[in-house]
Amino acid sequence: MVGQTQTLYQFHGGVVLEHHKSDSLENGLSELPLAEKLYISLEVGKGNYALPVVNIGEAVKKGQIIAEPQNKSGVYVHATSSGTVSYISERITANPTAKAIPAIEITTDGKDEWLQSKNTEKKNSLTPSEIITQIRQAGLLGMGGAGFPTHLKYNEKNQIHTLIVNGAECEPYISCDAQLMLSFPEQLFDGIDLMMKASNAKQAIIAIEDQTGKIEHKLNEIITQRKLASVSVVKVPTIYPTGGEKQLIRVLTGKDVPSGGLPLNLSIIVQNIGTIKALADYCNESKPLVQRIVTVAGDRISKPQNFIIPIGTPINHILQAVNCNIQDSDEVIIGGPMMGYSVTELSAGIEKTTNCILVMSKKPKPQSPTMPCIRCGECVSVCPAELLPQQLHWYINGGNLEKAREHHLFDCIECGACSWVCPSQINLVQYYQYAKAELKYLDYKKNKSDAAKLRHENREARLEQLKQERMNKRKRTRSTTARDPEKIKMEIQASVERAKLAKQQKEKGDE
């Protein structure tokens, strides 16, 4: 639908940040020379790893399945260029945990040959369940940053009303989604069509954060062209973190995702632009998710730009290709400046979730050091989760983590707005992440010890019961004997006779 005005709602707080997106957008989209080695992570969802189905030395084609999921929540992993499998091992990837995880190393042959698919024709009439299978086969993980396996959001049983297409990247610098909407709008709409079919959604809302109006114009053109009645484009205000799932839902619908719940509870699915386009590529051209658009920017990058980069390309290869020479004082950040994480191992390959590589100079600046919290409340006024960040800090600092939980610690989305605004320069998010991890661990330990205690108590009870039963039995026999001495005599008599009989029989047998 074009020209329809949508009522927008507000979420609490948020901060207005310098945008830094226009430079990378103006420089357009291009490709980089292929890296010699690709390191493809086998993580397919949090802590879930796919099993390799190729051997070392095996030749692979681009798009060939190289690892299969071990369970229903995992997705397939594909070779992202042609070459040979040279190593399968654990190594550090561009993952926030910076832990070594299973990965496949491919030495590229430079031909970048696609696997010849059996059925390359466009898949037109797919049923919802077929699309969901396609999503899993295409290897789709949420490309906005969380990396949640996409197919898990879809189920024919779910009653979905609205598909929210999240094109509102609210972090500074990152412009890969905006670039995608400018470069591949047709594929995006194909993907939206598929996702709507898969979810049975009545409408789709494309949320964009658009300063120039260029993207809105382009998308609306296609909507008019294709006469799409159920898809609309909505411009949302550029306040960080509007692009956060919960905040975006509030802005568009005025509703809140229940605490601890999912958008599904509101009959909504939120999907990142890149993920949607990747599905269209798979269904239209049988090209699984092997590459993505990555923004390369930051104050140490002379020409910020968006690139189409194969998954697994090492970060140092990318930085070399854009002529960035890393100094000791530089910081390389994956993601945006608000929620991104620093990486120190630049040989790590990019992942499906890597939307941006930032190189920032961290030359020692006369920065004011961290001061104690004065409880000024600036953090309260910017918190999009409507928490009291200063109180959380107070309790966590004092080691009173349970109090922090009472103050809704687990509703924190870790957007960093409180840290950004704090006049005492306290990195509040760090406290919350620590407290969450600690509480989860304590809960885990408590559950484990509770279970052990229960097991122990059950065992004791069982033993006690057996003992009781034995006692009862003995008591019963004893009580009968006590009551009836005649009967005992008879019983003794009977057993003596039984023995005699047996003896006689035995003697007979011997004869």
Which residues ranging from 147 to 186 are in contact with another protein (CB under 8 A)? 172
Q: Shortest distance, CB of residue 246 to another protein, whole angstroms?
A: 6
Nearer to another protein among residue 108 and residue 247 (C-beta): 247
Q: Does 12 bind another protein (CB under 8 A)?
A: yes
Nearer to another protein among residue 123 and residue 408 (C-beta): 408
State which of positions 351-370 bind another protein (CB under 8 A).
358, 360, 362, 368-369
Closest Cα to residue 255, out of 245, 266, 264, 244? 266
Structure tokens at 193: 């069509």
CB atoms within 10 A of CB 497: 10
Q: Shortest distance, CB of residue 421 to another protein, whole angstroms?
A: 6
Say if strands 65-68 and 77-78 run parallel, antiparallel, or are unpaired: antiparallel
Q: Which amino acid is at 460?
A: E
- Which helix (H) or strand (E) element contains residue 167? strand 162-167
Nearer to another protein among residue 34 and residue 360 (C-beta): 360
Q: Shortest distance, CB of residue 258 to another protein, whole angstroms?
A: 5
Would you say 48 and 39 are in contact if contact means Cβ atoms under 8 Å apart?
Answer: no
Q: Which string of x and - marks every residue 299-318 that binds another protein (by CB under 8 A)?
A: -----------------x--
Q: Does 340 bind another protein (CB under 8 A)?
A: yes
Crossing angle of helices 389-397 and 428-483, rounded to 10°: 60
Give the distance between the most distant pair of CA atoms in the chain. Answer: 116
What sign has the CA pseudo-torsion 87, 92, 97, 99?
positive
State which of positions 207-246 bind another protein (CB under 8 A).
246
Q: Which one of residues 185, 381, 438, 439 is an interface residue with another protein (CB under 8 A)?
A: 381
Q: Does 11 bind another protein (CB under 8 A)?
A: yes
Say if strands 37-41 and 100-108 run parallel, antiparallel, or are unpaired: antiparallel
CB atoms within 10 A of CB 221: 12
Nearer to another protein among residue 402 and residue 497 (C-beta): 402
Q: Does 295 bind another protein (CB under 8 A)?
A: no
Nearer to another protein among residue 107 and residue 427 (C-beta): 427
Q: Which amino acid is at 36?
A: E
The DSSP call for residue 244 is: S
State which of positions 425-484 bind another protein (CB under 8 A).
425, 427, 429-430
Structure tokens at 271: 């999907």
Q: Shortest distance, CB of residue 349 to another protein, whole angstroms?
A: 14
Residue 21, judged by CB atoms within 10 A of its CB (0-12, 13-18, 19+), counts as: buried
What sign has the CA pseudo-torsion 336, 337, 340, 345?
positive
Q: Shortest distance, CB of residue 267 to another protein, whole angstroms?
A: 15
Q: Which one of residues 53, 374, 482, 502 is an interface residue with another protein (CB under 8 A)?
A: 374
Nearer to another protein among residue 228 and residue 348 (C-beta): 348
Nearer to another protein among residue 151 and residue 250 (C-beta): 250
Q: Shortest distance, CB of residue 135 to another protein, whole angstroms?
A: 27
State which of positions 320-339 bind another protein (CB under 8 A).
320, 325-333, 335, 337-339
Q: Is 399 left (phi over 0), alpha (psi -120 to 50) or beta?
A: left
Q: Shortest distance, CB of residue 8 to another protein, whole angstroms?
A: 17
Say if strands 330-334 and 268-272 run parallel, antiparallel, or are unpaired: unpaired
Nearer to another protein among residue 1 and residue 326 (C-beta): 326
Would you say 14 and 417 are in contact if contact means Cβ atoms under 8 Å apart?
Answer: yes
Q: Shortest distance, CB of residue 303 to another protein, whole angstroms?
A: 18
31-40 burial string, b = 16+ CB within 10 Å, else e?
Answer: ebebbebbbb
CA distances from 486 to 95, 475, 482, 493 (A): 85, 19, 10, 11
Would you say 210 and 239 are in contact if contact means Cβ atoms under 8 Å apart?
Answer: no
Nearer to another protein among residue 228 and residue 356 (C-beta): 356
Q: Does 10 bind another protein (CB under 8 A)?
A: no
Angle at 197 between CA 272 and CA 80, to 5 degrees: 50
Nearer to another protein among residue 215 and residue 332 (C-beta): 332
Nearer to another protein among residue 76 and residue 420 (C-beta): 420
State which of positions 251-280 bind another protein (CB under 8 A).
256-261
* Stretch near another protein under the rule CB under 8 A, chosen from 37-45, 150-158, 374-382, 464-472: 374-382
Q: Which one of residues 213, 254, 377, 399 is an interface residue with another protein (CB under 8 A)?
A: 377
Question: What is d(CA 492, CA 43) in angstroms, rounded to the nearest whole number?
Answer: 76
Q: Which string of x and - marks every residue 389-428 that binds another protein (by CB under 8 A)?
A: -xx--------------xxx--x----x--xxxxxxx-x-
State which of positions 17-56 bind another protein (CB under 8 A).
17
Question: What is d(CA 21, CA 174) in angstroms, rounded to the nearest whole number?
Answer: 6
Nearer to another protein among residue 268 and residue 280 (C-beta): 268
Q: Shortest distance, CB of residue 164 to another protein, whole angstroms?
A: 16
CB atoms within 10 A of CB 418: 31
Q: Shortest distance, CB of residue 182 to another protein, whole angstroms?
A: 26
Nearer to another protein among residue 98 and residue 152 (C-beta): 98
Q: Which amino acid is at 319?
A: L
Structure tokens at 471: 């006692």
